[in-house]
């Protein structure tokens, strides 16, 4: 007995889909400051006594609007977690292996995820003091902040 699916004719393929991503007013201001001023800004919720980097439009705890509460944080901080990227994927910012770390910047209360270059990937440690390295070339992405390196 024949079912409809016995006659299914399937051609597998892949489509390239051009797109634009709008970082939003808060994300755009954050990236422009990285690119043009080589400064790292977050937003502060005075009610919760928390500074968020990367910045967000509203406080994740009390939902207060934060778009007018910008604060600059230090380009230094500490690693709070990390993983070693060992497999290449087309969307990755660099060739593996490399360390993707969570870094709590001095003056911030939440960590930001970014690339940590520390020579050998096996040298990465929780608590390691790190410093931001900004891109020499103008970049219109988070990679305006090229990576973090161990503070000396």
Q: Which residues bind Zn ion (CB under 5 A)?
A: 45, 47-48, 59, 61-62, 64
In the complex, minimum distance from the CB of residue 52 to Zn ion, in angstroms, rounded to a whole number: 9
In the complex, minimum distance from the CB of residue 90 to Zn ion, in angstroms, rounded to a whole number: 38
Name which of 104, 124, 102 is nearest 113 in CA terms: 102
DSSP string of 54-101, one letter each residue: S--SB-TTT--B-TT-EEEE-SEEEEEEEEEE-S--TT-SSPSSEEEE
Closer Cβ to Zn ion, 45 or 145, answer by number: 45
Secondary structure letter of residue 104 according to DSSP: E
- With a CB cutoff of 8 Å and minimum separation 6, the contacts of 5 are none
Closer Cβ to Zn ion, 45 or 124, answer by number: 45
Closer Cβ to Zn ion, 54 or 75, answer by number: 54
Closer Cβ to Zn ion, 62 or 88, answer by number: 62
Closer Cβ to Zn ion, 48 or 110, answer by number: 48
- C-alpha 139, offset from chain centre: 14
Tracing tokens 């709070």 back to the chain, one arrives at 80
In the complex, minimum distance from the CB of residue 129 to Zn ion, in angstroms, rounded to a whole number: 28
In the complex, minimum distance from the CB of residue 58 to Zn ion, in angstroms, rounded to a whole number: 8
In the complex, minimum distance from the CB of residue 68 to Zn ion, in angstroms, rounded to a whole number: 14
């Amino acid at each position: 007995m024949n079912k409809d699916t016995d006659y299914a004719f399937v051609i597998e393929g892949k489509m390239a889909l051009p797109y634009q991503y709008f970082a939003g007013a808060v994300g755009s201001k954050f990236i422009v400051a990285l690119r043009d001023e080589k400064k790292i800004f977050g937003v502060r919720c005075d009610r919760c006594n928390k500074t968020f980097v990367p910045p967000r439009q509203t406080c994740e705890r009390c939902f207060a609007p934060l778009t007018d509460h910008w604060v600059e944080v230090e380009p230094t901080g500490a690693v709070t977690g990390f993983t070693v990227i060992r497999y290449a994927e087309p969307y990755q910012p660099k060739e593996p292996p490399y360390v993707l770390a969570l870094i709590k910047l001095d003056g911030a209360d939440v960590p930001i995820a970014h690339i940590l270059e520390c020579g050998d990937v096996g040298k990465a440690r929780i608590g390691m003091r790190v410093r931001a390295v900004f891109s020499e070339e103008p970049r219109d992405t988070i990679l305006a902040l090229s990576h973090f390196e161990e503070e000396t």
